[in-house]
Structure 1
Amino acid sequence: MSKFRKKKKGIPAVNTAALPDIVFMLLFFFMVTTTMRETNLVIENPRLPSATEIKKLEDKSLVSTIYVGKSKDPNRDGVGYNKIQLNDKISTAEQVPAFIFSKRDKLAEAMHPFMTTSIKADKESNVGTIIDIRLKLRDVNALKINYSSTAPAN
């Protein structure tokens, strides 16, 4: 017998020392890159009309969105495509100026002229509702209005 025995060589164990570092790096990456939705839709997802000339909005922090469409809960809000959503609740056209003023209060005064109001209205919405919104926006001097639409299907 030999004095020195040869050890059996097997597959070495996987080194898991770096695993927590990788997990926390991925967690940090997703926390930084994920954006949270600002409003929950109380109306059905609007089916936007199509348009031929489309321009993308550049600075989304200066955009206030007004949704017009059919309510998801007709028992609570009533039936019809003329429901106006401001922030997370169904509102009326008379509440649009207060909505705009609350958005303006969050911005610096120098940025007020660059503020845009985006109207996302369903195809089936009445034009009268949109005109009521426009008149209220005119009363508070919010004259930059964007009508959201989709690209035409080719």
Structure 2
Amino acid sequence: MSKFRKKKKGMPAVNTAALPDIVFMLLFFFMVTTTMRETELQVENPRLPSATEVKKLEHKSLVSTIYVGKAKDAKYGTSYNKIQLNDKIASADDVPAFIINERSKVPENQQPFMTTSIKADKESNVGTITDIRLKLRDVNALKISYSASKGDN
């Protein structure tokens, strides 16, 4: 009899030493690339009017968005004339203060490039949008963009 017996060799175990590194790399990747919505919509997702010529806005950090549409919460009413500034339902009289506040967040040399984007539901009242435009004119916010979806009318 031999003193040393040969062991049967099977498949080696899978090496999991690199697994934590891979998991943390994936976690870090998703943390860096994920963007969080800055404002929660208080108006229903606007059904934008369609347009044939659409241009994408550059420099999203210089865009202040005003939402116009029907409020999600019934306590504000059921008309399509509700205006949302940041995270609250407001009136057209609150627009100048909103624009001044947005300007204060941007360096002075970039303030002339600021754009006000109006995302209005296609059922919105034109009078409400006109009131917003007049208030924007009062604070010299003359660069206005109307959001639309690309498609044929």
Normalising by structure 2, what TM-score?
Answer: 0.97
Distance 1:70 1:28 in 2: 39
Unpaired runs of at least 5, structure 1: none
Q: Secondary structure at the match of 1:22?
A: helix
**Per the alignment, in what secondary structure is the counterpart of residue 51 of structure 2?**
coil
Once the 2 structures are TM-superposed, how far is the Cα of residue 4 of structure 1 from its aligned partner?
Answer: 2.4
Aligned to 2:16: 16
SS in 2 for 1:143: coil
Q: Which runs of 4+ in 1 moved over 4 A?
A: none
Report the number of matched residues. 153
Instruction: Give the structure 1 partner of residue 6 of structure 2.
Output: 6
SS at match of 1:11: coil
2:28 alignment partner in structure 1: 28
1:81 and 2:90 are equivalent in the alignment: no
**Deviation for aligned residue 1:32:** 0.6
Partners of 1:68 and 1:129 lie apart in 2 by 8
Q: Does 1:95 align with 2:91?
A: no
Give the AA of the match of 2:54: I
Query: Identity across aligned pairs (percent)?
Result: 79
Q: RMSD of the alignment, in Å?
A: 1.1
Q: TM-score, normalised by structure 1?
A: 0.96
Report the secondary structure of 1:120's partner residue.
Answer: strand
Matched, 1:151 2:150: yes
